Homo-oligomer: A and B are copies of this chain.
Amino acid sequence: MTPDAFRELGHRLVDWVADYRKRMDKLPVMSPVVPGEVKAAFPRSAPETPQSPQALLELLDQAVVPGITHWNHSRFFAYFPGNSAFPSVLADLVCSALGAQAMSWQTSPAATEVEEVVMEWLQDLVGLPRTFTGVIQDTASTATLVALLCARERTTGFGQRRGGMQAEPSALTVYYSEEAHSSVEKGALMAGFGAENLRRIETDEVFALRPERLAHAIETDLGQGKRPCAIVAGIGTTATTAFDPLHAMLALAKKYGLWLHVDAAMAGSAMILPECRPRWQGVEEADSVVFNPHKWLGVGLDLSAYYVRDVAHLTQTLSTQPSYLKTAQDGQVKNFRDWGVPLGRRFRALKLWFLLHLEGAEAVRRRLRRDLENARWLAAEIARNPDWEVIAPVALQTVCIRHRSADNMAVAQRVNLAGRAYVTPSVVRGRAMIRVSIGSEHSERPDVQAVWDELQRAAACTQRPT
């Protein structure tokens, strides 16, 4: 494709994107297609000869868009928000066009140095001291895996250089709340800990880890000859955005010499609001912290911010030095390939730069405050309705609710199928509930009112006769 052909189709696609975002709110939030429907619209084999841009745009409109669940829709209340604000969309265009490789400093110095810049901007914005050093990971799942690998290696004195996990004389154990995200268990299993050595610690009435249970679990393991290795603290857990008691967990980590990783995937973004920071007080004592600007902040997927107190654990655990990757600047610069799992790395920092440059931090803060206020409003509305209850404290922007008599799974499914809003059914302590997670960039009060109306309507239709 020539630069001129690129220019022509590029302009069409920019217009296509602007039009898509304008009409998006009229589309069903959750895609209504059935399994196989999108696939059937595509040819069975790759085109041998060039096909027209027009045909591509038609397939995009007719088969792909109907198969999209619109994460930027103003009535997207499912999972956690996943905003791709326009500045980050534009940054991705530039990222792909530059095609820079951020694996080593030399393979594109700007990719490494802009990453340093924006990770410093971000840590100042959330109030993490400069004693931390940041690096971009794709997702919190990967960052948590990295944290657990570093924990494993610190505890074993870099046992991977010898016999690895297989040679450890006593079993290493990992501790986290029963409300921790599934990626914590997944990461621990990938790192070789084994399910029998993972401790899901009970939570209290507000779904926060009970520190006395954690202390007891560590003591029990020590008594049985196990080797406690890492604690993961959930700062805004997935189901209910509960906040684990970080101070108490840090004290235990210190007492027993454990790695403390903070999984603030969702709630970390809230820390750009000074009023939210008491929620993770003590974080400066953690060994590692992850949060996802690709959620609430508006930087398109994927961009996880991973901060560590001691870079040496990271590079000693993950670096490789084959001759073909050596460069003249090694030793003076950061080679981020040694700070994560993949070797090849996109120039993701552009997204954070574009967003903060074009919007400014204050506008992002305003947006997040709007969402917190909307969550409180919704919770108050629901609390006034005798048929419904709010089943967890509204610590952030997620409101966990249940209808007292209807089948909550059926209610959520009915809302989602109707297409005017999208929520996530879930289960907490064995009880079905519905998560309304506020935070889509363009979700205003009328959108929150709309999902509440939808929920009430759906409940009326699905409610069992009494």
A354 engages B56 (CB within 8 Å): yes
Q: How near does chain B come to A460, taking the closest CB pair, in angstroms?
A: 21
Q: How far is the CA of A67 from the CA of B116 in the complex (A)?
A: 14
Between A and B, 27 residue pairs with Cβ closer than 8 Å are: A1-B359, A3-B22, A4-B18, A6-B21, A10-B93, A20-B98, A30-B106, A38-B110, A39-B116, A39-B117, A42-B114, A45-B120, A46-B125, A50-B359, A68-B110, A138-B342, A139-B342, A141-B341, A141-B343, A149-B190, A163-B194, A164-B195, A166-B172, A167-B196, A192-B192, A302-B345, A302-B346
As a 0/1 sequence over residues 403 to 445 of chain A, the CB contacts with chain B under 8 angstroms (1 = contact) are 0000000000100000000001111100000010000000000
A196 engages B162 (CB within 8 Å): yes
A7 in contact with B15 given A35-B332, A141-B341, A142-B341 (CB within 8 Å): yes
A147 at the interface (CB under 8 A from B): no
A87-108 interface with B by 8 A CB criterion: 87-90, 92-101, 105-108
In the complex formed, the residue of B with least CB distance to A60 is B94
Q: Which one of A181-189, A202-210, A252-260, A450-458 is at the interface? A: A181-189
A164 in contact with B116 given A50-B360, A97-B89, A141-B342 (CB within 8 Å): no
Q: How near does chain B come to A12, taking the closest CB pair, in angstroms?
A: 9
Please give, as numbers and ranges, the residues of chain B lying within 8 Å of A121 by CB-CB distance.
45-46
Please give, as numbers and ranges, the residues of chain B lying within 8 Å of A122 by CB-CB distance.
46
B68 engages A82 (CB within 8 Å): no
Q: How far is the CA of A71 from the CA of B100 in the complex (A)?
A: 6
Find the residue from A65, A89, A427 having the highest chain B CB count within 10 A. A89
A383 at the interface (CB under 8 A from B): no
Contact among B14, B113, B140, B428 with A67 in the assembled complex (CB-CB below 8 Å): B113
A125-178 interface with B by 8 A CB criterion: 125, 138-142, 145, 149, 152, 159-168, 171-172
A192 engages B171 (CB within 8 Å): no
B195 engages A166 (CB within 8 Å): no
A69 in contact with B324 given A48-B362, A51-B357 (CB within 8 Å): no
A344 engages B426 (CB within 8 Å): no
In the complex formed, the residue of B with least CB distance to A118 is B46
In the complex formed, the residue of B with least CB distance to A56 is B357
Please give, as numbers and ranges, the residues of chain B lying within 8 Å of A239 by CB-CB distance.
323-324
Contact among B21, B141, B324 with A3 in the assembled complex (CB-CB below 8 Å): B21
Please give, as numbers and ranges, the residues of chain B lying within 8 Å of A426 by CB-CB distance.
323-324
Please give, as numbers and ranges, the residues of chain B lying within 8 Å of A63 by CB-CB distance.
110
A269 at the interface (CB under 8 A from B): no
Q: How far is the CA of A413 from the CA of B328 in the complex (A)?
A: 8
Q: How far is the CA of A236 from the CA of B99 in the complex (A)?
A: 23
Chain A: how many interface residues by the 8 Å CB criterion?
Answer: 162
- SS class, residues of chain A in contact with chain B: helix
Q: How far is the CA of A354 from the CA of B118 in the complex (A)?
A: 31
A191 at the interface (CB under 8 A from B): yes
A49 engages B344 (CB within 8 Å): no
A84 engages B108 (CB within 8 Å): no
Contact among B11, B51, B413, B424 with A11 in the assembled complex (CB-CB below 8 Å): B11
A64 at the interface (CB under 8 A from B): yes
Contact among B21, B292, B362 with A97 in the assembled complex (CB-CB below 8 Å): B21
A324 in contact with B68 given A93-B89, A165-B194, A341-B341 (CB within 8 Å): no
A90 engages B163 (CB within 8 Å): no
A109 at the interface (CB under 8 A from B): yes
Q: How near does chain B come to A253, taking the closest CB pair, in angstroms?
A: 21
Contact among B35, B189, B292, B328 with A105 in the assembled complex (CB-CB below 8 Å): B35
In the complex formed, the residue of B with least CB distance to A85 is B1
In the complex formed, the residue of B with least CB distance to A7 is B18
B360 engages A94 (CB within 8 Å): no
A72 at the interface (CB under 8 A from B): yes
